[in-house]
């Protein structure tokens, strides 16, 4: 993927799930359409009247019994492994990686994901115009990133919030962690104003 | 749509895993003991059924139609599960910003409602398009529409959006109905 880490951190990737669903849907559509074409005589009148389990195909399979069996078993095992991997991959929650600050043997220093999230969240909530903030670590342990969701009060100046976020929150987080770069994705949400009572 | 596709992908994966396991087991079992009954799947009966069913049978055609339709639905779900977030320009390296279509619509709605002679407004927004439907009792569409377009346009100039959405404004005014 050529997308930078910060852009990837904006939201969980659905590429795998979408590709799988798309491909399965496409195959089902093509198979169904082909069967319809055969059944309606699109590939010849005679072809359409033959049984589904064609004797010619069965004869051919019977003639190549051993390779066909091996192929079927390999296909089955492959489907089993891949299907299980897909299911587990989709069910797994998005990881919250811890940050390795120091990997020196004997002096390892790890900041847990919740610790970073809590610290940055407390800072972000101090900003003017921010009513609520949610921070979580995303990505993998080798390339961690932060995802910050800010709920802004009505009438807040977007650019002002951004400038403060950069100078106060992110810079502080980078400095305190001693990191040169910390890919960050910011999601801005506009809060609804609290309902006013009419008297 | 996104959580739905995630569940769908999980179920598809499980279905593939189950089908693959059954296929491998049955084929292996039949190879090892050709004479004995099948383990789980009554495939000899299915074989007989399928051999007596022609491609032009009604059941086969209906089944094929249903399969094709289900495939189209899956493709539609996969295409609809795209990311709808509205991207803002990256303010610095290693930082990316986005907002939700709902927030953008809320922002536009606040600005439009703050205009004179606007009684109410509903706004829908996406990364490509903003639709404003305003109500006014005092001005006609011809009077109010250019003003609202200019206002929304000025607001969009303020927000550093990656892609500038097209703006369409409709004014609903009783003065136009006379």
Helix (H) or strand (E) holding B78: helix B58-80
Contact criterion met (CB below 8 Å) for A80 and B82: no
Consecutive 10-residue averages of pLDDT for chain A (199 residues): 72 84 94 88 76 81 85 94 92 82 76 85 86 86 85 80 82 80 85 66
Within an 8 Å CB–CB cutoff, is residue B59 touching chain A?
Answer: no
A2 CB burial (10 A radius; 0-12, 13-18, 19+)? exposed
Are A190 and B61 in contact (CB < 8 Å)? no
Residue B62 structure tokens: 């209906």
Give the pLDDT confidence of B46-72 residue by residue, as tens digits.
888 888 888 878 888 899 999 999 999
Give the pLDDT confidence of A26-36 residue by residue, as tens digits.
999 999 999 88
Of the partner residues B5, B56, B98, the one whose CB lies closest to the CB of residue A187: B98
| pLDDT reported for residue B15 | 94
Residues of A in contact with B55 (CB under 8 A): 35, 38-39, 47-52
Are A14 and B5 in contact (CB < 8 Å)? yes
Q: Which residues pair with A185 in a beta bridge?
A: A147, B96
| pLDDT reported for residue A1 | 45
Q: Rounded to an integer, what distance in angstroms lies between the CA atom of residue B165 and that of residue A92?
A: 35
Mutation target vs B (from A90, A124, A146; most B CBs, 10 A cutoff): A90
Q: Rounded to an integer, what distance in angstroms lies between the CA atom of residue B113 and that of residue B107?
A: 10
Residues 74-103 on B with a CB inside 8 Å of A are 74-79, 81-83, 85, 87-88, 90-100, 102-103
Is pLDDT above 60 for B6?
A: yes
Alpha helices in chain A (DSSP H): 5-8, 15-39, 45-49, 55-63, 65-91, 113-125, 158-164, 171-177
Give the pLDDT confidence of B15-52 residue by residue, as tens digits.
999 999 999 998 888 888 887 877 788 888 888 888 88
| pLDDT reported for residue A194 | 62
Its ipTM equals 0.77
Of the partner residues A17, A75, A189, the one whose CB lies closest to the CB of residue B9: A17
| pLDDT reported for residue B47 | 83
Mutation target vs B (from A1, A55, A87, A166; most B CBs, 10 A cutoff): A87
CA-nearest residue of chain B to A4? B94
Q: Rounded to an integer, what distance in angstroms lies between the CA atom of residue B14 and that of residue A190?
A: 39
Of the partner residues A25, A27, A186, the one whose CB lies closest to the CB of residue B78: A25
Are A25 and B74 in contact (CB < 8 Å)? yes
End-to-end distance of chain A based on CA atoms, in angstroms? 57
Residue of B164, B102, B88, B150 lying closest to A159 (CA atoms) = B88
Residue B46 structure tokens: 């299915």
Within an 8 Å CB–CB cutoff, is residue B44 touching chain A?
Answer: no
Q: Rounded to an integer, what distance in angstroms lies between the CA atom of residue B11 and that of residue B8?
A: 5
Residue A15: other Cβ atoms inside 10 A: 9
Give the pLDDT confidence of B73-85 residue by residue, as tens digits.
999 999 888 888 8
Within an 8 Å CB–CB cutoff, is residue B154 touching chain A?
Answer: no
CA-nearest residue of chain A to B28? A73
Of the partner residues B53, B76, B91, the one whose CB lies closest to the CB of residue A166: B91
Contact criterion met (CB below 8 Å) for A182 and A170: yes
Of the partner residues B2, B28, B71, the one whose CB lies closest to the CB of residue A73: B28
Please compute the mean of the pLDDT values over residues B2-19 and round it to a whole number.
Answer: 91
Residues of B in contact with A32 (CB under 8 A): 64-71
């Amino acid at each position: 993927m050529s997308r930078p880490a910060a852009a990837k951190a904006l939201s969980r990737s659905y590429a795998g799930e979408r590709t799988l669903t798309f491909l399965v849907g496409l195959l089902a559509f093509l198979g169904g359409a082909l069967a319809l074409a055969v059944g309606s005589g699109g590939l010849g009148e005679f072809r359409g009247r033959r049984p589904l389990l064609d004797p010619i195909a069965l004869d051919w399979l019977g003639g190549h019994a051993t390779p066909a069996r091996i192929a079927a078993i390999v296909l089955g095992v492959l489907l089993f492994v891949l299907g299980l991997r897909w299911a587990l991959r989709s069910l797994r929650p998005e990881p919250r990686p811890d940050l390795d600050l120091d990997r020196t043997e004997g002096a390892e220093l790890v900041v847990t994901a919740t610790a970073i999230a809590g610290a940055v969240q407390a800072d972000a909530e101090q900003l003017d115009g921010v009513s609520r903030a949610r921070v979580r670590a995303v990505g993998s342990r080798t390339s961690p990133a932060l995802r910050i969701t800010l709920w802004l009060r009505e009438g807040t100046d977007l650019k002002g919030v951004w400038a403060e976020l950069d100078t106060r929150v992110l810079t502080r987080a980078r400095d305190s962690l001693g990191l040169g770069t910390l890919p960050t994705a910011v999601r801005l949400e506009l809060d609804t104003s609290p309902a006013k009572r009419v008297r | 749509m996104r959580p739905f596709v995630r569940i769908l992908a999980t179920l598809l994966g499980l279905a593939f895993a189950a089908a693959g396991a059954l296929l491998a087991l049955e084929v292996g079992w039949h190879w090892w003991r050709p004479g004995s009954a099948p383990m789980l799947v009554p495939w000899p009966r299915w074989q007989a059924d399928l051999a007596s069913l022609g491609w032009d049978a009604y059941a086969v055609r209906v089944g094929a139609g249903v399969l094709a339709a289900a495939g189209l639905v899956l493709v539609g779900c996969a295409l609809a599960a795209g990311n709808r977030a509205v991207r803002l320009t990256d303010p610095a390296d290693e930082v990316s910003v986005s907002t939700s279509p709902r927030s953008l619509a809320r922002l536009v709605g606040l600005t439009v409602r703050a205009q004179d002679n606007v009684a109410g407004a509903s706004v829908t927004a996406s990364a490509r398009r903003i639709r404003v439907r305003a109500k006014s009792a005092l001005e006609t569409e011809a009077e109010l529409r250019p003003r609202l377009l200019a206002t929304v346009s000025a607001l969009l100039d303020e927000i550093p959006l990656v892609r500038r959405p097209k703006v369409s404004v409709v004014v609903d005014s009783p003065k136009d109905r006379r």
